[in-house]
Amino acid sequence: MTQHTYHMADIISIADTAHIMPTGMGDAELAKNSESWCPYLRFLAAIVAKYQPPVCVELGVYMATATMHMALGSAYSMIIGVDRDFHPAAKHNVERFSNIVLIEGDSTSVVTKLEVADVLPWNRLNKELIGLLFLDSTHDGDTPKMEFNLYKTLFAEECLVVCDDLLGPKHLEVKMQDFWGWLPGEKQELHFLHPRINDGHDVPGFGVSIVRREDL
């Protein structure tokens, strides 16, 4: 399967309409999920539906809510979720999705990366490569940088790198902003996709970068 070319104008347009997309993207079980209120989840589903990257990798899965949204986006995309401490419900949540693979391990470990590489699907004589990388594990600035450097050798010609919590937690905001400034590619902040859950919380923030082979 050939991945479509990413265009930032189209990505922004999808982001602008994410808040009016149905919670759970029409999936009744997912609509009941306590995390599904957040617009960035519907954005991820819509991005996968439009561009159909053969492989999406999520680092930091927790309950697998984002994993399931991406799996709903395209049955032809393999969604690989990596976490060293899954929520007890995560594996049960994804059982009904044949295009999800969960790998337990440290997202900054070469051993875990090799496990990811081992399950990449084949397209004729070559393995498909990562067309979307969602960085959502430890939001300390250093971890996402290590993850990017580790997985960039598995990127397709274009890879959409999606970054959550660019503005928080507050005590780590400077380090996350340093990471964001360092990250290569065509970048766009989309903080409205991850708003504060209530007035007592900070805005977590959100952003994407189209990383092309020549950027690496």
Express each pLDDT in 83-93 by its tens digit: 999 999 999 99
Please report, for the chain, the start and end positions of each structural domain, with discontinuous segments joined by +. Answer: 8-215
Of residues 201 and 40, which shows the higher confidence score? 40
The percentage of residues in the chain with a pLDDT greater than 70, rounded to a whole number, is 97
Write the pLDDT tens digit of every residue in 105-159.
999 999 999 999 999 999 877 899 999 999 999 999 999 999 999 999 999 999 9
Residue 198, pLDDT score: 62
The CA distance from 175 to 163, in Å, is 13
For the cut 80, the answer to whether the pLDDT of residue 179 exceeds it is yes
Residue 66 has pLDDT above 90, yes or no: yes
Distances (CA, A) of 49 to 96, 105, 117, 152: 18, 28, 23, 23
Is residue 165 pLDDT above 90, yes or no? yes
pLDDT at 17: 98
Three-state SS for the chain is CCCCCCCHHHHHHHHHHHHHCCHHHHCHHHHCCCCCCCHHHHHHHHHHHHHCCCEEEEECCCCCHHHHHHHHHCCCCEEEEEECCCCCCHHHHCCCCCCEEEEECCCCCHHHHHHHHHHCCEECCEECCEEEEEECCCCCCHHHHHHHHHHHHHEEEEEEEEEECCCCCHHHHHHHHHHHHHCCCEEEECHHHCCCCCCCCCCCCEEEEEEEHHHC
Fold type of domain 8-215: Rossmann fold (3.40.50)
For the chain, what is the mean pLDDT?
95
